[in-house]
C-alpha cells in the first residue's frame, strides 16, 4: 500500500520528522517499508539564502567564494562553481546535514584551502526538473531562511507492507491513527458532516444474504456533472501512484485511501428499481469492469437490481455496464460491509482483485461505513455538483466484531521478562485507542478486530515497547539427543567420507519430470500406481515427487557435460517419495544416498594416463563407505538399465547399482559410461554404528600360497568367492584376486577361457603354522574349487 | 705364511678400492672372506703352523681380517652414499602435482551444519516430520484460518489424496509436540515447498531450519537471547541484530529478524534472516485436542518458535546472486566449497 506523507500530514503533525525517522517508526511498529519514492525537495535544511558577496577563489580559477545570508544572523561562507548568479540573488542553500536528491548528505568542507560551510544548489541537485545551467535562482520575494521545499511541490511516497492482521492501517487515516499513538501526538479532527439516514424499505434495498452482507447503505445524488477532478484531488491520487479518472470515481478512490472504506458509484439511470444484495445463481454470467467475463457460483455475492441483472460483484468489482460514464447525471453511491471470507473466496476464484476486495477480505471497520459515505457525498457535491434529495438508505446493521479483553498483569510481566511496568503497558494500550473499563477489562476500538484475546493485547504492548527494550536471557532446559541427532551425525560422516573420496555433493529439486522417471533407480522397482504426482504442477518439469535420487544426479551430470566437465563424481542424500505395492501403502518417505560416477577417474597428467571410471571404482567407493564389510554386487536385472545389480554388504541388501543404457548415455551426450548406485541410508547408518570391542592382534605369522586357475571366461568371480566362503577351512583367513587374464585372440589362452590368480592367506591364532600344515590346508581349498567349479590349476 | 697373509691383505684392499658398485664389492668380499676365499683358506692352514708360531700368525690373520672388514664397510658406505646421491640428483620438484580427485560438500550442507552445530551446542535436539503433510499439521494446528491464502491450490502443491507438500517446517513443531511432552527444545532442518515460479530469488522447493522451545516460563527474553546468540555465532559477535514486529498466525507476538551486514561492494544494510515469535496459545490448544490431554496448558507453558531460510543464509554467507546455483550442481560452482 502506498502512503503520501503530505496526505498523511493532513491528519497529524509529523513534527518535522525525517523520512528516515518515519521509516524506522513504521518498521518497529510492524509495518515494513518496502520503498521510498521522493518527489521534489524533502530536506528541511535546504533554505532560501541571499548571496551577499562573491570573490574569485584564491587557488582555483573556476571557483568563487561567496558569503551568503541564510537567515542565521551572520554570513555563511560557501565555495561555489556556478556563474549564472549576481550578488543579491536568492538561491537554495543546503546547510550541513541536508540530504540532496541522490541521498548525498552535505557537510562542511575545505576546498583548496578555503572553508566551505554548505552548498548552493542547482535545480537538478534538488531533484527538481532541470532548469538553467547553474544555480536555481529563486524569486526575490522568497523569505530568507525558509525551507525551499515549501516553495515547490514536494512529497514522499512510502510503499508499505501491512500485515494481514492490520487492515485498519490500509488508509491514510488509519496509518495516521497508528503514528499518532506512537508519536504521542493528537490526530487532527476530520470535517465530515453528520449523516441523516433512514432504514431502507425492502423495495429500496433487499438484503437477501445478511451473513455475507450484514450492512448495506446507498445514497442517490442527482444532477451531477462528470468531469475532471480539481487539481487537489488529482494531486492526492497521483501522490500514491493512482491515475485520476473523473470526479466521481476519483472521490470514491480518495475516500477509500483516506478512510479505508471501499465505495462504489452506480449510474442510477442504469438501475431498474431497488438494490438487491443476493448470492449469485449457479452459472450466472458477469462481465466485469475490466471486461473479463465470469461464470459465477452460488457462493459469490452480487449487487443486482429489481430486473435481476448483476450490476457488481459485491466488494470485488463493478460491472462493465453499470458504472459511471461521462453521460451520467444521477448516481447511487454504495457503502457497505461485506464479510471477509466470502470476498476472499470470490476474489481468489475469479482471479479478480481490486483495492476494494483487498480491504474487504482483510476486514473493514463496520462502524465507518456511514462516515465514508458522508465524506464521499460531501466531496461529490463539491466537485460534481448535484443534490441529495433523500436521506441515506440503510439496510441491516453494523456487526459488532470486537469485545472487551482482559490484560493479565502477571502473564504480561512473565512474558516481557519484567521489562515493562503495568502502568506503562496500560499507557500503550490507551494510546492505541483502547479504554479500560470499570471492571478492569479493555474496550477495543471497532477498527481493531484483531484484538480478541489477552495475548493480542500483549502483542500490542511488546510491539510498541520494542524488543530492543527487552533484556536478553541465555538459558534453557537440558534435553536428551534424539534418534534424529544420531542419524544426522551418521549422515555427516558419510558426506565427509564421500567428499574426501573426491565426490561433489549435489542438491536437486525433489519434484521431477515424468520423463525423468526412466532414470529412477529406487531400491524396489516401481509398480503401476507407485508414483506420487502433484495435482497442479508448476510445469511438466516438476510434476512428480522423486522416487529415487538418480534422475536428479543424471540431470546434473548431463548439465555438467554440456559445460565440458570431464570428471563426473556426484552424490546426493535425501528423501525419496513413493507409494508401495502398486499404490497400496501411501506416501512413503525414506532416505537414500545416490552416487554417480562417469568419465575421468584419474585425469591424464605428465606422469599418468587418463582413466575412465568403471564399475569397480563405484564398487570400491561403496566399500570405502563401510570399511571392514565385504561389499558385493549380485546381478539382478533392472528395467531401463544395464548391468543392474543388488549391492550387498556382508550379505545384507544395501541398495542397487546399474549403468545407464548406452542409448540413454548417447541421448544425454555422455561420452563415457555412467554408473549409478542408490543405497538405503537407514541401513548404511546402522553399518556405521562403529567399532565394538577391538580384536586382538595376531600373535603368530601367517603364510600365503598363490594359485592360477584356468576357468571358462563366462564364469562369474562370485562363484569362486561362494566356494571359498563355504569351504570351511579354518586356517584360511583371507584371499584376494590379483590377476585376471584373457586373450581374445586365443593365442596364449583359448578365447573362451580365462586365467584367474588368487592369493590365499593362512594363519592359526595359537601357533606358527608348519609348511606342511599350510600345504594341507591349501590343498583342501584347491580341491573344493576343483570339485565345485571344475577348475584346472596352471 | 706371513708373506702370503700380507699379500692377500694387499690384494684384497686393492680389489675393494677398485670396486665400482656393491656387486663388485661383494665379489671382493667373497674372494677373500667367503667359504673358499683366500683368507679363509689361509686361516684353515693355521692348524699346520707350529705351536710356538701360532699366536703370531693368529694375530696377523686377525689384523688382516679386521683391516679387510673395515675397508669393506667403509667402501660400502661410500658406494651407498654415491648411489643415494645419484638417485636424488636430477629430480625436478617443480613439475606439476599429480591430479587427485577432490570433492566438496554442498554449500547448503555447510551452512546447515554450521547452524545446527551452534544450536545443538545451545542444547537443541534434532527433530523431523514428513514433507507430504496433511492440512491439520501444516495449517489447522498452526492457527491458520481456513481461507488463508497459503492454503490455495495456486500457492501450495496439493495431491489428489488431499495431502499437500508442507509449506514450512513449522509442521514439525506440531508433530513433535504431539508425541513429546514439555520441555521441548528442538530444531528441524528440512525442505518446504511453495508454488513459486523458479527464478533468481525463488525456488519451488527450498530449505528451512525450524526451532521450538516450550517449557514453563519461556519468555521474550529467552527468544531474544537465543536468537541473538545464534546470529552472533553465525555472522560474528559484532553483528547488529534487530527484531521487527511482524505477523504469523502461529506466533504472537511475532517478529522478523534482520542482521546488519556489509556485502561486498555495498554499504551496510539490514538483511532479513529469520522469523520468530512466542507460540500462540491457539497452537497449544490444538495440540492438547490432538493429544487428548493438557500437557500443553497455555496457563502453564509458554514457548517460542523460529524459522529461517537456509538457502537465503547460504546466499548471504557466500554472496550467491542466483538461488538456482544451489540446485544446478555445476562443478565450477561446487568446486569453490572444497
Nearest chain A residue to B191 by CA distance is A510
Note the pLDDT tens digit of each residue in B270-312.
999 999 999 999 999 999 999 999 999 999 999 999 999 999 9
Residue B193 Rama label (left phi>0; alpha psi -120 to 50; beta): beta
Q: Does residue A695 fall inside a structural domain? A: no
Nearest chain A residue to B224 by CA distance is A472
Buried/exposed code over A630-652 (b: 16+ C-beta within 10 A; e: otherwise)? ebbbeeeebebbbbbbbbbbeee
CA gap B138, A57 in Å, rounded = 72
CA gap A11, A423 in Å, rounded = 28
With beta carbons less than 8 A apart as the criterion, state whether A544 and A531 touch.
yes
With beta carbons less than 8 A apart as the criterion, state whether A595 and A579 touch.
no
Section A430-441 average pLDDT: 95
Contact A482 B125 (CB under 8 A): yes
A687, A719, A734 — which closes off a domain? A687
CA gap A408, A415 in Å, rounded = 11
Taking only Cα atoms into account, the Rg of chain A, rounded to an integer number of angstroms, comes to 42
Does the pLDDT at position B109 exceed 70?
Answer: yes
Contact B327 A508 (CB under 8 A): yes
Contact A467 B198 (CB under 8 A): no
Phi, psi (degrees; rounded to nearest 5) at A72 = -105, 10
CA gap A346, B73 in Å, rounded = 104
- Which residues of chain A have a CB within 8 Å of the CB of B315? none
What pLDDT is attached to residue A37? Answer: 86
The enclosing domain of A708 has a CATH number of 3.30.70.380
Q: Does residue A760 fall inside a structural domain? A: yes
CA gap A250, A324 in Å, rounded = 11
Element housing A558 (H / E): helix A550-562
Which three cell numbers, joined as nine digits, stand for B21? 658398485
Nearest chain A residue to B95 by CA distance is A606
CB atoms within 10 A of CB A689: 9
Section A221-237 average pLDDT: 94
- B11 CB-near residues (< 8 Å, 6+ apart): B38
Which three cell numbers, joined as nine digits, stand for A379? 466531496
Interface residue of A505, A554, A580, A607 to substitute, partner B, most B CBs within 10 Å = A505
Of A472, A484, A601, the CB nearest to B228: A472
- Give A196's strand partners: none
Phi, psi (degrees; rounded to nearest 5) at B20 = -100, -20
Question: Is residue A211 domain-shared with residue A337, that is, in the same domain?
Answer: yes
- Which residues of chain B have a CB within 8 Å of the CB of A533? 159-160
Section A722-742 average pLDDT: 92
User: Within its chain, how far is the Cα of B24 from the centroid?
Assistant: 55
Name the CATH superfamily housing domain B107-337: Bira Bifunctional Protein; Domain 2 (3.30.930.10)
What pLDDT is attached to residue B300? Answer: 94
CA gap B140, A67 in Å, rounded = 71
Does the pLDDT at position A768 exceed 70?
Answer: yes
What pLDDT is attached to residue B276? Answer: 97
- The percent of residues above 90 in pLDDT, for chain B, comes to 66
Does the pLDDT at position B264 exceed 90?
Answer: no
Contact B125 A458 (CB under 8 A): no
Does the pLDDT at position A133 exceed 90?
Answer: no
Question: Is residue A139 domain-shared with residue A166, that is, in the same domain?
Answer: no
Question: Is residue A490 domain-shared with residue A639, that is, in the same domain?
Answer: yes
CA gap A85, B313 in Å, rounded = 55
Note the pLDDT tens digit of each residue in B63-99.
888 999 999 999 999 999 998 998 898 888 998 888 8
Interface residue of A357, A473, A618 to substitute, partner B, most B CBs within 10 Å = A473
Count of the separate structural domains present in chain A: 6
Please give, rounded to a whole number of angstroms, the shortest distance from the CA of A531 to a CA of chain B. 12
Does the pLDDT at position A193 exceed 90?
Answer: no
CA gap A587, A281 in Å, rounded = 40
Which three cell numbers, joined as nine digits, stand for B199? 527464478
Q: Does residue A403 fall inside a structural domain? A: no
Q: Does residue A641 fall inside a structural domain? A: yes
Helices (H), chain B: 2-18, 22-33, 38-44, 51-88, 107-121, 135-138, 171-179, 220-235, 281-291, 310-318, 325-328, 331-334
DSSP A104: P
- Give A652's strand partners: A649
CA gap A480, B185 in Å, rounded = 9
Are β-strands A442-443 and A215-222 bridged in parallel, bridged antiparallel, or unpaired? unpaired
Portion 306-325 of B in contact with A at CB < 8 A: none
Comparing A131-145, A364-378, A379-393, A541-555, the range with the smallest average pLDDT is A131-145
Does the pLDDT at position B317 exceed 80?
Answer: yes
- Which residues of chain A have a CB within 8 Å of the CB of B179? none
The Cβ-side half-sphere exposure at A710, using a 13 Å CA radius, reads 9
Does the pLDDT at position A108 exceed 90?
Answer: no
Task: State the ipTM, two decimals.
Answer: 0.88
Contact B96 A606 (CB under 8 A): yes
Portion 96-125 of B in contact with A at CB < 8 A: 96, 98-106, 108-109, 113, 116, 120, 122-125
Comparing B36-40, B136-140, B281-285, the range with the smallest average pLDDT is B36-40
CA gap A512, A553 in Å, rounded = 11
Q: Tell whether omega for the bond before B253 is within 30 degrees of 0, i.e. cis.
A: yes
Section A746-760 average pLDDT: 92
What are the DSSP calls for A645-681, one per residue? Answer: EEEEETTEEEEEEEEE-HHHHHHTT-SS-EEEEEEEH
When pLDDT is cut at 50, 70 and 90, the band that residue B263 belongs to is confident
Residue A232 Rama label (left phi>0; alpha psi -120 to 50; beta): alpha
What pLDDT is attached to residue B61? Answer: 87
Nearest chain A residue to B230 by CA distance is A474
CA gap A283, A12 in Å, rounded = 49
Mean pLDDT of chain A: 92
What pLDDT is attached to residue A127? Answer: 73
Look up the pTM and report it.
Answer: 0.85
Note the pLDDT tens digit of each residue in A175-192.
999 999 999 999 999 988
What pLDDT is attached to residue B152? Answer: 81
Does the pLDDT at position A737 exceed 80?
Answer: yes
Question: Is residue A215 domain-shared with residue A353, that is, in the same domain?
Answer: yes
- A453 CB-near residues (< 8 Å, 6+ apart): A405, B281
Size of interface A-B (CB pairs under 8 A): 241
Element housing A90 (H / E): strand A90-94
Question: Is residue A522 domain-shared with residue A633, that is, in the same domain?
Answer: yes
- For A782, the domain range is 703-793
- Which residues of chain A have a CB within 8 Å of the CB of B109? 495, 505, 507
Residue ranges per domain, chain B? Answer: 2-88, 107-337
Contact A602 B101 (CB under 8 A): yes
What pLDDT is attached to residue A132? Answer: 73
CA gap A424, A426 in Å, rounded = 5
Does the pLDDT at position A746 exceed 90?
Answer: no
Q: Does residue A341 fall inside a structural domain? A: yes
- Which residues of chain A have a CB within 8 Å of the CB of B120? 485
Element housing A35 (H / E): strand A32-39
Q: Cell numbers 519468555 label which residue?
A: B219
CA angle A725, A727, A731 (to 5 degrees): 90
The enclosing domain of A13 has a CATH number of 3.30.56.10
- Which residues of chain A have a CB within 8 Å of the CB of B124? 479
CA gap A660, A516 in Å, rounded = 13
Which three cell numbers, joined as nine digits, stand for A446? 471497532
With beta carbons less than 8 A apart as the criterion, state whether B106 and A506 touch.
yes
Helices (H), A96-189: 172-183
The enclosing domain of A286 has a CATH number of 3.50.40.10
Q: Cell numbers 518439469 label which residue?
A: A541
What pLDDT is attached to residue B312? Answer: 93
What pLDDT is attached to residue A273? Answer: 87
Interface residue of B91, B101, B228 to substitute, partner A, most A CBs within 10 Å = B101
What pLDDT is attached to residue A129? Answer: 67
- B286 CB-near residues (< 8 Å, 6+ apart): B140, B141, B142, B143, B174
Portion 201-260 of B in contact with A at CB < 8 A: 203-205, 213, 215, 217, 219-222, 224-226, 228-229, 242-247, 252-256
Does the pLDDT at position A102 exceed 70?
Answer: no
Question: Is residue A537 domain-shared with residue A611, that is, in the same domain?
Answer: yes
SS3 assignment, position A118: coil
Does the pLDDT at position B2 exceed 90?
Answer: no
DSSP A504: E
Q: Does residue A188 fall inside a structural domain? A: no
Interface residue of B115, B211, B226, B247 to substitute, partner A, most A CBs within 10 Å = B247
Are β-strands B125-126 and B184-193 bridged in parallel, bridged antiparallel, or unpaired? parallel
Question: Is residue A27 domain-shared with residue A58, that is, in the same domain?
Answer: no
CA–CA distance from A167 to each of A359, A364, A454, A463, B83 (Å)?
7, 7, 20, 17, 91
What pLDDT is attached to residue A109? Answer: 87
Contact B124 A495 (CB under 8 A): no
Section B101-108 average pLDDT: 94
Mean pLDDT of chain B: 92
Interface residue of A162, A167, A459 to substitute, partner B, most B CBs within 10 Å = A459
End-to-end alpha carbon distance in chain B: 78
Query: What does the longest C-alpha to C-alpha distance in chain B come to?
Result: 127
CA gap A133, A270 in Å, rounded = 57
Does the pLDDT at position A14 exceed 80?
Answer: yes
Q: Does residue A355 fall inside a structural domain? A: yes
Question: Is residue A674 domain-shared with residue A768, that is, in the same domain?
Answer: no
Does the pLDDT at position A723 exceed 70?
Answer: yes
Nearest chain A residue to B164 by CA distance is A534
Q: Cell numbers 458477469 label which residue?
A: A286
Contact A607 B95 (CB under 8 A): yes
Q: Does residue A716 fall inside a structural domain? A: yes
- Which residues of chain A have a CB within 8 Å of the CB of B191? 510, 575
With beta carbons less than 8 A apart as the criterion, state whether A396 and A207 touch.
yes
Nearest chain A residue to B302 by CA distance is A415
What pLDDT is attached to residue A305? Answer: 92
Which three cell numbers, joined as nine digits, stand for B323? 538461488
Question: Is residue A80 domain-shared with residue A202, that is, in the same domain?
Answer: no
Does the pLDDT at position B149 exceed 80?
Answer: no
What pLDDT is attached to residue B266? Answer: 76
Amino acid at each position: 500500500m502506498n502512503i503520501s506523507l503530505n496526505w498523511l500530514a493532513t491528519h497529524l503533525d509529523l513534527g518535522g520528522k525525517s523520512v528516515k525517522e518515519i521509516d524506522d517508526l513504521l518498521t518497529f511498529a510492524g509495518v515494513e517499508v518496502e520503498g521510498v519514492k521522493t518527489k521534489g525537495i524533502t530536506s528541511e535544511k535546504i533554505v532560501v539564502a541571499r548571496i551577499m558577496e562573491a570573490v574569485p577563489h584564491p587557488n582555483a580559477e573556476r571557483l568563487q567564494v561567496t558569503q551568503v545570508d541564510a537567515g542565521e544572523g551572520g554570513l555563511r561562507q560557501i565555495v561555489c562553481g556556478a556563474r549564472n548568479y549576481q550578488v543579491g540573488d536568492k538561491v537554495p542553500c543546503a546547510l550541513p546535514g541536508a540530504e540532496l536528491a541522490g541521498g548525498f548528505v552535505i557537510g562542511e568542507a575545505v576546498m583548496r584551502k578555503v572553508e566551505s560551510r554548505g552548498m548552493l544548489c542547482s535545480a537538478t541537485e534538488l531533484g527538481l526538473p532541470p532548469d538553467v545551467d547553474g544555480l536555481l535562482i529563486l524569486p526575490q520575494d522568497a523569505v530568507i531562511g525558509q525551507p525551499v521545499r515549501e516553495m515547490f511541490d514536494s512529497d514522499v511516497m512510502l510503499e508499505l507492507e501491512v500485515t494481514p492482521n492490520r487492515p485498519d492501517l490500509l488508509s491514510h487515516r488509519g496509518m495516521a491513527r497508528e503514528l499518532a499513538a506512537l508519536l504521542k501526538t493528537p490526530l487532527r479532527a476530520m470535517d465530515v458532516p453528520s449523516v441523516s439516514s433512514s432504514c431502507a424499505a425492502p423495495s429500496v434495498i433487499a438484503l437477501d444474504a445478511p451473513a455475507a452482507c450484514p450492512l448495506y447503505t446507498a445514497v442517490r445524488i442527482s444532477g451531477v456533472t462528470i468531469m475532471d477532478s480539481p487539481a487537489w484531488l488529482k494531486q492526492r491520487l497521483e501522490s500514491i501512484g493512482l491515475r485520476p479518472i473523473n470526479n466521481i470515481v476519483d472521490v470514491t478512490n480518495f475516500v477509500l485511501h483516506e478512510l479505508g472504506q471501499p465505495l462504489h458509484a452506480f449510474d442510477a439511470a442504469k438501475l431498474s428499481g431497488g438494490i438487491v444484495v443476493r448470492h449469485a445463481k449457479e452459472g450466472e454470467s458477469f462481465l466485469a469492469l475490466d471486461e473479463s467475463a465470469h461464470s459465477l457460483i452460488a457462493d459469490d455475492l452480487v449487487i443486482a437490481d429489481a430486473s435481476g441483472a448483476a450490476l457488481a460483484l459485491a466488494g470485488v468489482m463493478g460491472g462493465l455496464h453499470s458504472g459511471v460514464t461521462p453521460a451520467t447525471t444521477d448516481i447511487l453511491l454504495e457503502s457497505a460491509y461485506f464479510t471477509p471470507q466470502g470476498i476472499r473466496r470470490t476474489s481468489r476464484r475469479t482471479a479478480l482483485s481490486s483495492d476494494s476486495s483487498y480491504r474487504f477480505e482483510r476486514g473493514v471497520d463496520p462502524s465507518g461505513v456511514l462516515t465514508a459515505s458522508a465524506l464521499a457525498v460531501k466531496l461529490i457535491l463539491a466537485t460534481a455538483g448535484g443534490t441529495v434529495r433523500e436521506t441515506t438508505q440503510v439496510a441491516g446493521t453494523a456487526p459488532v466484531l470486537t469485545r472487551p479483553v482482559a490484560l493479565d498483569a502477571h502473564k504480561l510481566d512473565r512474558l516481557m521478562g519484567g521489562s515493562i511496568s503495568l502502568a506503562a503497558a496500560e499507557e500503550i494500550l490507551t494510546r492505541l485507542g483502547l479504554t479500560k473499563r470499570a471492571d478492569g477489562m479493555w474496550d477495543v476500538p471497532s477498527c481493531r478486530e484483531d484484538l480478541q484475546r489477552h495475548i493480542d493485547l500483549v502483542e500490542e504492548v511488546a510491539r510498541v515497547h520494542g524488543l530492543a527494550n527487552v533484556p536478553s536471557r541465555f538459558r534453557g532446559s537440558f534435553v536428551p539427543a534424539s534418534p534424529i541427532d544420531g542419524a544426522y551425525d551418521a549422515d555427516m560422516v558419510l558426506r565427509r567420507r564421500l567428499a574426501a573420496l573426491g565426490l561433489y555433493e549435489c542438491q536437486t529439486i525433489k519434484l521431477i519430470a515424468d520423463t525423468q522417471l526412466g532414470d529412477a533407480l529406487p531400491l524396489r522397482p516401481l509398480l503401476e500406481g507407485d508414483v506420487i504426482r502433484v495435482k497442479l504442477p508448476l510445469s511438466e518439469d516438476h510434476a512428480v515427487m522423486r522416487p529415487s535420487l538418480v534422475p536428479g544426479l543424471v540431470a546434473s551430470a548431463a548439465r555438467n557435460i554440456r559445460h565440458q566437465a570431464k570428471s563426473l563424481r556426484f552424490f546426493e542424500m535425501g528423501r525419496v517419495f513413493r507409494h508401495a505395492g502398486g499404490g497400496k501403502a501411501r506416501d512413503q518417505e525414506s532416505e537414500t544416498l545416490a552416487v554417480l560416477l562417469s568419465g575421468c577417474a584419474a585425469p591424464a597428467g605428465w606422469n599418468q594416463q587418463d582413466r575412465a571410471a568403471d564399475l569397480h571404482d563405484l564398487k570400491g567407493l561403496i566399500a570405502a563407505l563401510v570399511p571392514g564389510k565385504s561389499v558385493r554386487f549380485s546381478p539382478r536385472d533392472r528395467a531401463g538399465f544395464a548391468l543392474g545389480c543388488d549391492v550387498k554388504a556382508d550379505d545384507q541388501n544395501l541398495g542397487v547399482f546399474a549403468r545407464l543404457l548406452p542409448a540413454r548415455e548417447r541421448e544425454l551426450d555422455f561420452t563415457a559410461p555412467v554408473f549409478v548406485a542408490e543405497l538405503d541410508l537407514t541401513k548404511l547408518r546402522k553399518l556405521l554404528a562403529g567399532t565394538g570391542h577391538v580384536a586382538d592382534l595376531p600373535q603368530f605369522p601367517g603364510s600365503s600360497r598363490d594359485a592360477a586357475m584356468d576357468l571358462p571366461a563366462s564364469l562369474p568371480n562370485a562363484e569362486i568367492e561362494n566356494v571359498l566362503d563355504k569351504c570351511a577351512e579354518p586356517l584360511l583367513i583371507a584371499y584376494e584376486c590379483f590377476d585376471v587374464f584373457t586373450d581374445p585372440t586365443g593365442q596364449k589362452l583359448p578365447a573362451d577361457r580365462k586365467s584367474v590368480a588368487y592369493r590365499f592367506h593362512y594363519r592359526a591364532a595359537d601357533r606358527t603354522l608348519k609348511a606342511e600344515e599350510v600345504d594341507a590346508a591349501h590343498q583342501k581349498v584347491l580341491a573344493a574349487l576343483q570339485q565345485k567349479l571344475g577348475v584346472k590349476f596352471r | 705364511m706371513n708373506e702370503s697373509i700380507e699379500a692377500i691383505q694387499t690384494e684384497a684392499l686393492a680389489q675393494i678400492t677398485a670396486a665400482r658398485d656393491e656387486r663388485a664389492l661383494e665379489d671382493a668380499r667373497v674372494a677373500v672372506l667367503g667359504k673358499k676365499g683366500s683368507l679363509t683358506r689361509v686361516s684353515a692352514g693355521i692348524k699346520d703352523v707350529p705351536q710356538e708360531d701360532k699366536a703370531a700368525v693368529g694375530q696377523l690373520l686377525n689384523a688382516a681380517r679386521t683391516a679387510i672388514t673395515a675397508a669393506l664397510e667403509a667402501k660400502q658406505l661410500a658406494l651407498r652414499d654415491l648411489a643415494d646421491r645419484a638417485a636424488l640428483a636430477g629430480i625436478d620438484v617443480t613439475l606439476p602435482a599429480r591430479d587427485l580427485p577432490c570433492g566438496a560438500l554442498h554449500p547448503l550442507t555447510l551452512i546447515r551444519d554450521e547452524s545446527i552445530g551452534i544450536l545443538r551446542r545451545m542444547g537443541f535436539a534434532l527433530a523431523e516430520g514428513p514433507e507430504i503433510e496433511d492440512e491439520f499439521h501444516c495449517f489447522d494446528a498452526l492457527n491458520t484460518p481456513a481461507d488463508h491464502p497459503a492454503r490455495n491450490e495456486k500457492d501450495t502443491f496439493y495431491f489428489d489424496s488431499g495431502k499437500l507438500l508442507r509449506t514450512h517446517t513449522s509442521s514439525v513443531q506440531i508433530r513433535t509436540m504431539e508425541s513429546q511432552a514439555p520441555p521441548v527444545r528442538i530444531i528441524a532442518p528440512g525442505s518446504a515447498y511453495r508454488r513459486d515460479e523458479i527464478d533468481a530469488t525463488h525456488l519451488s522447493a527450498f530449505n528451512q531450519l525450524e526451532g521450538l522451545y516450550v517449557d514453563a516460563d519461556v519468555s521474550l527474553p529467552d527468544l531474544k537471547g537465543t536468537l541473538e546468540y545464534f546470529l552472533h555465532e553465525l555472522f560474528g559477535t559484532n553483528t547488529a541484530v534487530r527484531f521487527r514486529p511482524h505477523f504469523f498466525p502461529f506466533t504472537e507476538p511475532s517478529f522478523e529478524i534482520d542482521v546488519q551486514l556489509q556485502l561486498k561492494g555495498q554499504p551496510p544494510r539490514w538483511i532479513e534472516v529469520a522469523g520468530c515469535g512466542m507460540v500462540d496459545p491457539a497452537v497449544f490448544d490444538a495440540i492438547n485436542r490432538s493429544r487428548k490431554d493438557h500437557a500443553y496448558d497455555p496457563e502453564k507453558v509458554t514457548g517460542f518458535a523460529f524459522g529461517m531460510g537456509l538457502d537465503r543464509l547460504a546466499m548471504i554467507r557466500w554472496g550467491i546472486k542466483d538461488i538456482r546455483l544451489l540446485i544446478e550442481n555445476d562443478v565450477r560452482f561446487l568446486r569453490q566449497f572444497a
